Amino acid sequence: MQYGKGSILLTSRAQFTDGSYDPHYLRPAMLALASDDISNETYFLLITSQVERYIAYPDEYFLLGEDLREQIRLRKPSLIKLDKVHKGKVSGNPTGGLPPQIYKAVIKKLGTYKEKHPDIIYDEIKSKLF
């Protein structure tokens, strides 16, 4: 895997499987989960700093609050979006990473969310997540 599990990536226009590009340039935007060694693509979750969404939709996000912000090298509290696992070509440098216990908590909450909201891409990689 080009990026370690739980790496937070500073991305530069990632290309998604559908051919579209991430509209944000150079921001800590993705959490690496696994990679496809054949296509050289990375499976990832998106990160947003719009933490007010957590109040309305707590099941769809994992909160990286103020207590974790400095430890994982983010400028402000953020959310990991659990609604869709993405797969695409990613270029960029890791800007930080989740401690193993936090990564495991994210994967556990992702699994719980995907039981209720199935995702084909999640099904491809769920055995690689731990």
Q: C-alpha 83: how far from its chain's center?
A: 10
**What's the pLDDT score for residue 1?**
47
Collapsed DSSP state (helix, strand, coil) of residue 29: strand
CA distance 26 to 24: 7
pLDDT tens per residue across span 117-130: 999 999 989 888 87
**What's the pLDDT score for residue 12?**
62
Judge: domain 7-128, CATH 2.30.30.110.
Answer: yes
The DSSP secondary-structure symbol of 55 reads H
DSSP element (H, E) containing 48: strand 41-48
* Cβ-Cβ contacts under 8 Å for 129 (sequence gap 6 or more): 5, 33, 34, 107, 110
**What's the pLDDT score for residue 59?**
96
CA distance 80 to 92: 18
pLDDT tens per residue across span 42-84: 889 988 889 999 999 999 999 998 887 777 878 888 999 999 9
